[in-house]
Amino acid sequence: MRHPAADINGTLPTNRSLNTGIAPSCPGCGSIGISRIGSIPDAFEFAGRKLDTPLPGGSLYRCRVCTLHWRHPQPDKRELDALYRQGDAASWQYHPVRRQDWQIAMAIIRKNDGLHSVLDVGCFDGRFLDHLGTDYRRAGIEVHPRAAEHAASKGIQIVGRDFSDLETLPTPFDVVVAMDVIEHVGNPKEFLGSLAKATRPGGLIIVSTGNTAAWSWRLMRGMYWYCSIAEHLSFINPQWCKLISHELGLEITDLETFSHEPAKPSATFLQASANLFYRCLPNLAYGLRRFHALRKGLACRPSFRTPPHWRSARDHLLVAFRVPLRDGAHDLHCTDARVSLEVSRPAS
């Protein structure tokens, strides 16, 4: 079968700069017990903006030890950071009610007493924290400069621009959330460890992302819509969460699966049918999309070769981890969680 991202003559697009390598080991546990489970279509957009040249999708791998999934090869961090800074702000705009993970996360935070400070890693324009309300001391980390400014205008303290800033925060938080973020990092285990360091003993880490254990993902493999998004590098599942939480000394308190965008049965059926058709006959699917565009007088876009979305599938998970109390530490209920943050907002 021809690669789904090839042009009409079967020619693959020109490569961008990539971290290349043959037979990669697992970026999380280092195991060489890995399996290649499919090709990922090339990407023609990144963070809502069209790319000048396609970003090669590479392959989807699975670790047989820790069950982490990841794409290989990947752009290097400098290129990724530059692409994020140029991203279209509208590509991450959601109404809070439509975000299932936000609703679940807020319910978890509100049911736990003694939580007063919340850090949102990858907060974008601060919409989640704004919706959470002013009963909490709110802070965020955000790489997109304009988004960070919008968050600050809502009273959210920007304490960092990069995930690496988690290692240098002088004050821990009662809750650290990272929603739709962990899939953007090359080493999720290392990232989760950094979130734990930024969390007060006895506090919570809340993570939401795609779930590779979902049947829709297992069916589509590397051709799944979620892993074909250029910004997405790593993919986890409940089994990975349980294994890594044990290694990091964390306790899982909540784990829920949900649909990214719940839909009516008719829409769910259409999305499932479109993906099954694409899975079996990707080139015919491309031809039909191209024919439909030509009939409408529209230009034929290379992105017609990318997978159709399947946002109604129950293919996401949200997990809450509790950071253990250290020897001699008091429970959150007994600590002065209301201490003010001693961190000033970095200059834009």
Q: What does the mean pLDDT of the chain come to?
A: 83
Q: Which of 89 and 228 is assigned the larger pLDDT?
A: 228
Q: Collect contacts of 342-348 with beta carbons under 8 A, ≥24 apart.
A: 342/170, 342/171, 343/139, 343/157, 343/159, 343/169, 343/170, 343/171, 345/152, 345/157, 345/158, 345/159, 346/158, 346/159, 346/160, 346/161, 348/145, 348/148, 348/149
For residue 237, pLDDT beyond 90: yes
Output the pLDDT for position 286. Answer: 84
Q: Which of 58 and 94 is assigned the larger pLDDT?
A: 58
Token match 């030509």: residue? 294
Q: Which range is least confidently modeled, 2-6, 30-34, 231-235, 329-333?
A: 2-6
Q: What is the mean pLDDT of residues 259-285?
A: 91
Output the pLDDT for position 163. Answer: 86
**Torsional sign, CA 258, 263, 268, 270:** negative
Q: Which range is least confidently modeled, 60-64, 162-166, 214-218, 319-323?
A: 162-166
Output the pLDDT for position 89. Answer: 55
At what angle are helices 188-197 and 238-248 packed, to 10 degrees? Answer: 50
For residue 9, pLDDT beyond 90: no
Give residue 49's pLDDT band: very low, low, confident or very high (50, 70, 90): confident
For residue 91, pLDDT beyond 70: no
Q: Which range is least confidently modeled, 22-26, 201-205, 230-234?
A: 22-26
What digits encode the pLDDT tens for the residues 276-329? Answer: 999 999 889 888 888 887 887 776 666 677 888 898 999 999 999 999 987 655
Q: Residues near 317 by Cβ (< 8 Å), separated by ≥ 6?
A: 208, 209, 210, 211, 236, 237, 238, 241, 255, 256, 257, 258
Output the pLDDT for position 48. Answer: 67
Output the pLDDT for position 33. Answer: 95
Count of beta carbons in the 10 Å neighbourhood of residue 29: 18
Distance CA(227)–CA(118), nearest Å, equals: 29
**CA dist 36 to 61, 161, 199, 231, Å?**
4, 34, 35, 20
Q: What is the pTM of this model?
A: 0.83
What digits encode the pLDDT tens for the residues 111-169? Answer: 998 999 999 999 989 999 999 999 999 999 998 888 899 999 999 999 998 888 898 89
Sequence letter at residue 340: S
